[in-house]
Structure 1
Amino acid sequence: MVKKLITFSLKNRFVVLLISACLFGWGIYSVQQNPIDAIPDLSENQVIVFTEWMGRSPQVIESQVTYPLVSNLQGIPKVKNIRGASMFGMSFVYIVFEDDVDIYWARTRVLERLNYAQRLLPQNVVPTLGPDGTGVGHVFWYHLDANGMDLGEQRALQDWYVKFALQTVPGVAEVASFGGFEKQYQLVLDPLKMQYYNVSMMEVMNAVKTNNNDVGGRKFEMSNMSYIVRGLGYIKNIKDVEDIAIKNYNSVPVKVKDIGSIQMGGDLRLGIFDENGNGEVVGGIVVMRYGENADKVITAVKEKMKEVEKGLPEGVTFKTSYDRSELIEKAIESVKGTLIEEMIAVSIIVLLFLFHWRSALIILIQLPISVSIGFILLEAFGISSNIMSLTGIALAIGVVVDDGIVMVENAYRTISEKQEEMDNNQ
Structure 2
Amino acid sequence: DTSPELARQRVTERLQGVSGLPPETEGPALAPASSVMGEIAFLALTSTSLDPMELRRVAEVDVRRRLLAVRGVSQVVAMGGQERQYQVLPDPLRLERYGLTLHDVHAAIARGNQNAPGGYVIGKGQEAVVRVLGRSHDLEDLKDLTIAQRAGVAVRVRDVADVVVGPAVARGAASYNAQPAVILSIVKQPAADTIAVTRQVDAAVDALLPLLEQKGVAVHRDLFRQSDFIDLAVSNLTRVLRDGAVLVVAVLLLFLWSVRPTLISAIALPMSMLLSVLVLDFLGLSLDAMTLGGLAIAVGALVDDAIVDVENVSRRLRDRTQLPPDQRGPVLQTVLAASLEIRSSIASATFILMLVFVPLLLLGGLEGRLLRPLAIAYLAAIGSSLVVA
52, 72, 86: which one pairs with 1:171? 72
Give the residue type in structure 2 aligned to 1:340. Answer: R
Q: Could you say which residue in structure 1 is the equivalent of 2:266?
A: 363
Confirm whether residue 336 of structure 1 aligns to residue 238 of structure 2: yes
Given candidates 368, 379, 390, the residue that maps to 2:292 is 390
Q: Which residue number corresponds to residue 283 of structure 1?
A: 183
Distance 1:377 1:369 in 2: 12
Matched length: 314
Single out whichever of 327-336 and 173-182 deviates more from structure 2: 327-336
5+ residue gaps, structure 1: 1-77, 79-100, 220-228
Using the TM superposition, give the Cα deviation of residue 383 of structure 1 relative to its aligned residue in structure 2, in angstroms: 6.5
**Contact 2:44 / 2:176 at 8 angstroms: preserved in 1?**
no
Q: How does 1:26-37 map to 2 (within 5 A)?
A: none
Letter in 1 for 2:237: V
CA contact (8 A) 2:148 2:154 kept: yes
Question: Who is 1:269 aligned against?
Answer: 170
Is 1:155 aligned to residue 56 of structure 2?
Answer: yes
Change (3 A) 1:347 1:179: same
Equivalent residue for 1:297? Answer: 197
1:124-166, Cα deviation, whole Å (9 max, x unpaired): 4422112112441101111113223111111111111211111
Return the alpha-carbon distance in structure 1 between the equivalents of residues 282 and 189 of structure 2: 18
Using the TM superposition, give the Cα deviation of residue 292 of structure 1 relative to its aligned residue in structure 2, in angstroms. Answer: 1.3
In the alignment, what sits opposite 1:45?
none
1:367 touches 1:397 (CA, 8 Å); kept in 2? Answer: no
CA distance in 1, matches of 2:281, 2:245: 23
Going from structure 1 to structure 2, the CA distance change for 1:243 and 1:135 (only over 3 Å counts) comes to closer
Structure 1: how far apart are the matches of 2:89 and 2:47? Answer: 31
Name the counterpart of 1:247. 148
Secondary structure in 2 aligned to 1:139? Answer: strand
- Report percent identity of matched pairs: 24
CA distance in 2, matches of 1:231, 1:182: 28
The answer as to whether partners of 1:132 and 1:173 remain within 8 angstroms in 2 is: yes
- Letter matched to residue 166 of structure 1: L
Aligned to 2:229: 327
TM-align CA RMSD: 3.4
Query: Separation in 2 of the partners of 1:408 and 1:258?
Result: 98
Distance 1:379 1:137 in 2: 26
Of 230-239 and 192-201, deviating more is 230-239
Greater radius of gyration (CA): 2
Matched-pair contact (CA < 8 Å) for 2:41–2:185: yes
TM-score, with length taken from structure 2: 0.69
| CA deviation after TM superposition for structure 1 residue 167, in Å | 0.8
Question: 2:209 aligns to what?
Answer: 309
Aligned twin of 1:85: none
Partner of 1:41: none
Cα distance change of structure 1 residues 232 and 171 upon mapping to structure 2, 3 Å threshold: closer
Deviation of 1:240 after TM superposition, in Å, equals: 4.3
Deviation string 1:55-86 (CA, Å, 9 cap, x unpaired) is: xxxxxxxxxxxxxxxxxxxxxxx5xxxxxxxx
Tell me: CA distance 1:375–1:358, structure 2 relative to 1, closer, same or farther (3 Å).
same
**Deviation of residue 308 (structure 1)?**
1.8
**What is the TM-score normalised by the length of structure 1?**
0.63
2:362 corresponding residue in structure 1: none
Indicate how the Cα distance of structure 1 residues 335 and 236 shifts in structure 2: closer, same or farther if over 3 A, else same: same
Equivalent-residue separation in structure 2 for 1:323 and 1:386 (angstroms): 16
Structure 1 residues 273 and 423, CA, compared in 2 at 3 Å: closer, same or farther?
farther
Counterpart CA distance in 2 for 1:191 and 1:360 is 93
Structure 1 residues 76-225: aligned runs within 5 Å: 78=1, 101-116=2-17, 118=18, 121-123=21-23, 124-212=25-113
Maintained 8 Å contact 2:19/2:27: no
Checking the alignment, whether the CA contact within 8 Å between 1:363 and 1:404 is kept in structure 2 is no
Shift of residue 258, structure 1, vs aligned partner: 2.1
* Structure number with higher relative contact order (C-alpha < 8 Å, ≥ 6 residues apart): 1
Given the superposition, is the C-alpha separation of residues 110 and 236 from structure 1 closer, same or farther in structure 2, using an over 3 Å criterion?
closer
Alpha-carbon separation, structure 2, partners of 1:342 and 1:364: 14
**Structure 2: unaligned runs, 5 residues or longer:** 122-129, 329-389
Name the structure where helix makes up a greater proportion of residues: 2
Rounded Cα–Cα distance in structure 2 between residues aligned with 1:156 and 1:241: 21
CA distance in 1, matches of 2:282, 2:11: 29
CA–CA distance in 1 between the matches of 2:229 and 2:135? 48
Alpha-carbon separation, structure 1, partners of 2:271 and 2:46 = 45
What is the CA–CA distance in structure 1 between the aligned matches of 2:14 and 2:297, rounded to whole Å? 48
What amino acid is the match of 2:258? F
Structure 1 271/178 Cα, relative in aligned 2: closer, same or farther at 3 Å? same
